[in-house]
Amino acid sequence: MTTNIIENTPKRVITQPEVFPSSEVMLDLKDLKKVYPTSKGDYVVLEDLNLQIKKEEFVTIIGHSGCGKTTMLSMIAGLNPISGGSISVLSKHIQGPGPDRGVIFQSPSLMPWMTALQNVLLGVDQVFPHATKAQRQDVAKYYLQKVGLEDAFHKKASDLSQGMQQRVGIARAFAIKPKVLLLDEPFGMLDSLTRGELQDILIEIWNKEKITAVMITHDVDEAIFLADRVVMMTSGPKAKIGDILNIDFERPRTRKSVLEHDDYYKYRKHLIDFLEH
C-alpha cells in the first residue's frame, strides 16, 4: 500500500522551473510575493513565485480554490499591487494596468447599457485612436464575427445570454491586440455545453492570433485541451509553482484528437494526482 501511494504521488519537491533565453520570454514573474496585512499579522498569499511564459505560448494555471491564482493573475493585469518581486512583459516592468495585457474576466463584465458592438469599440477606440471610425468599426465587427455574433452587433449586452456575453468579452479582449491575454476562469459560470463551444471559439481565434495567453481554470480537461503547459500551484498560504506539465499535442487540436490521444489520460492522471494530494 505505502509503496503504491509513493509511486502515485507527484513530486512535492519544488523544482525551479526551466529558464528560457530572454528573447523567447513574453511574461516574466520573478520572486513574486503578495502579502495582505491582517489584524493577526501578515497573510502571505504568494511567495517566491517564479514563472516564465514564452511568446505565443498558451499556459493554463490550475490549483485549489483560494490558492492565489486569481491574485496572481490580477497582479499581472496590474489591478492588484505586488508586495515583492517583479512582473515584466518583454523585459519591461509593468506599471499598473494597460491594454497590452487584455483581460477576460470570470463574469463577462460588459457594460449592460451598451450594445455588443459598443462594448468592443470601447476598447478598440482606446487602443487605435488614430484609425478612422470606419476602420475601428471594422476591427470590432471582425472579432464579433469571429466569436459568432454577426447577428448581434446592435443587441444590448443585457439582452444577451451569459454565454453570448462572454463571447463579446472574448472579442473585446482580442480586438485590442494585447501582447498578453489573461483569462480568469472565463468559462467558470457557464454550463458544460456552452463551455465546450466557447473553448472551441477561443482556441480557434487563438490559433490565428497566437497571443501569449495565461488562463486560470478549475477544469482539468479544459487545462489540457487548451494549453502548451499546465502550471500547477500549491495550496496557499505561501503558494508557489508546484509542478509544470508540458502538453505535447500538436496544434491545431480538435477535441476529438485530444481525447483519443494515448497521452491524454496520462496527463489527466498527473494533474488529478497533483490536485488530490
Residues that bind other proteins (CB under 8 A): 77-79, 96-99, 101-103, 105, 107, 109, 111-114, 122-123, 126-127, 156, 158, 176
Residue closer to other proteins (CB basis): 21 or 96:
96
Q: How far is the CB of 52 from other proteins (least distance, A)?
A: 23
Residue closer to other proteins (CB basis): 150 or 200:
150
Locate 219 and state its grid cell: 477544469
Residue closer to other proteins (CB basis): 168 or 224:
168
Residue closer to other proteins (CB basis): 52 or 165:
165
Q: Is the dihedral of CA 162, 57, 88, 147 positive or negative?
A: negative
Residue closer to other proteins (CB basis): 83 or 107:
107
3-state SS, residue 263: coil
CA distance 249 to 61: 18
Per the document, the length of the chain is 277
Residue closer to other proteins (CB basis): 27 or 241:
27
Q: How far is the CB of 152 from other proteins (least distance, A)?
A: 12
Q: How far is the CB of 189 from other proteins (least distance, A)?
A: 12
Q: How far is the CB of 105 from other proteins (least distance, A)?
A: 6
List all residues 6 or more positions away from 206 whose beta carbon is below 8 Å from its beta carbon.
58, 181, 213
- Most distant pair of Cα atoms in the chain: their distance: 69
3-state SS, residue 7: helix
Q: How far is the CB of 233 from other proteins (least distance, A)?
A: 22
CA distance 166 to 196: 13
Q: How far is the CB of 125 from other proteins (least distance, A)?
A: 9
Cell 476598447, residue located: 123
Tally: H helices and E strands in the chain: 9, 10
Beta strand pairing status for 180-184 and 229-233? unpaired
